[in-house]
Amino acid sequence: LSNQELLAPVVSGLQADLALISTSPEAPSAASAASSALPLWPATLPAQVSAVAQLLAAAPQALPLSAIEAAFKGKGQWKKGLPRILETLELLGRARREGAGKDWRGT
């Protein structure tokens, strides 16, 4: 599959949700309203990798892990696997670390 085919299932509203989360830390009511509109964490590993790659590619700046976690809603311990997904994207040349190595940017 080409990169475009892997990114085909676009998660709608990611940029708007991310902007709302990152620009309104002092407004908890806005953040709680945004969490109801957040996309669900995908069930399958390929979809998870694709969703994280899309988020990073759409972000205007490097994102800390906490912002990446905040861009999705889900139950269970899905956040524990996120660092491994980011490292995988880095090895594939689809993400890179910035700053002190704690922020992530799509490539």
What does the pLDDT read at residue 35? Answer: 55
| Mean pLDDT calculated for residue range 20-38 | 56
C-alpha 54/C-alpha 9 separation (Å) is 9
Who wins on pLDDT, 60 or 34?
A: 60
| Nearest-angstrom CA–CA distance, 53 and 69 | 13
Whole-angstrom distance, CA of residue 30 vs CA of residue 104: 24
- What is the pLDDT at residue 14? 46
**Model confidence pLDDT, tens digit, residues 38-54:** 899 999 999 999 999 99
Closest by Cα among 74, 81, 76, 67 to 40? 74
Q: Smallest Cα–Cα separation from 6: which of 71, 68, 73, 53?
A: 53
Alpha helices, DSSP H, located in 1-107: 3-6, 14-23, 28-37, 45-58, 65-70, 82-91
The per-residue pLDDT for range 45-84, each reduced to its tens digit, is 999 999 999 999 999 999 999 999 999 999 889 999 999 9
